[in-house]
Amino acid sequence: MNKFEIRTQKKKTAVVHAALKLFKEKGFVHVSIKDIAAESGVSSVSLYNYFESKEGIVKECANFLMQNTLHMAEEIMNQDIDFKDKIIQIMDICADQDYQLLGSPGAVEDHVLSSLYSENTNKIRIQMLQELIELAKEEGAIHSSVSLETVLELLNAIGTIQLSWAKSGNYKEKMAEMNRLLLFGLIGNG
């Protein structure tokens, strides 16, 4: 990268960090491009040049968080541990990443933010989950007769429930219970 590209990347990163902070505090609707520019130290004109719109900034924030999630998930997938331990750790990471942005009062009430975030993370999340599900089938952790579509629909339903829990103070405990229920069932050991 040349100096211009490095400077541009630093500005984009500053914008993403500022936007994540502001969206978490106030939600999408109550944050303006001007607010993000002031927080990041980058001009409003540059923000529009880099991202085109506030929705474009949310997309970049989602990509930033998901890339971090993918990196951590890949590290876990390469560990020599039981598949159930892998899936629990990966589900915890995904929930934590979502909670980083959507887990505050300003953000959790903002349906526009949660919708934009979900829309922009779903493609990456589905790709990661497909790889995980295929590995689970290979290892016998998910029965081969269960379709990918059904597993993804179940996980999507859990994601909807997860968003409703973001308002509560016991989010982490509820997610741990959901993970145990998902992996071990109502009657299973765990």
Q: Which residue has the tokens 């106030």?
A: 26
Across the chain, which has 190 residues, the per-10-residue mean pLDDT values are 90 94 83 95 94 89 83 89 83 72 60 72 78 83 86 81 71 79 71
Whether residue 39 contacts residue 122, with contact meaning beta carbons closer than 8 Å, is answered with no
Q: What domains are there in the chain, each with its CATH number? A: 54-184 (1.10.357)
Whether residue 41 contacts residue 7, with contact meaning beta carbons closer than 8 Å, is answered with no
pLDDT on residue 88? 80
In SS3 terms, 132-164 reads as HHHHHHHCCCCCCCCCHHHHHHHHHHHHHHHHH
CA distance 158 to 77: 22
Q: Which residue has the tokens 């103070």?
A: 169
Q: Does pTM surpass 0.85?
A: no
Between the alpha carbon of residue 188 and those of residues 21, 38, 128, 152, the distances in Å are 40, 53, 26, 22
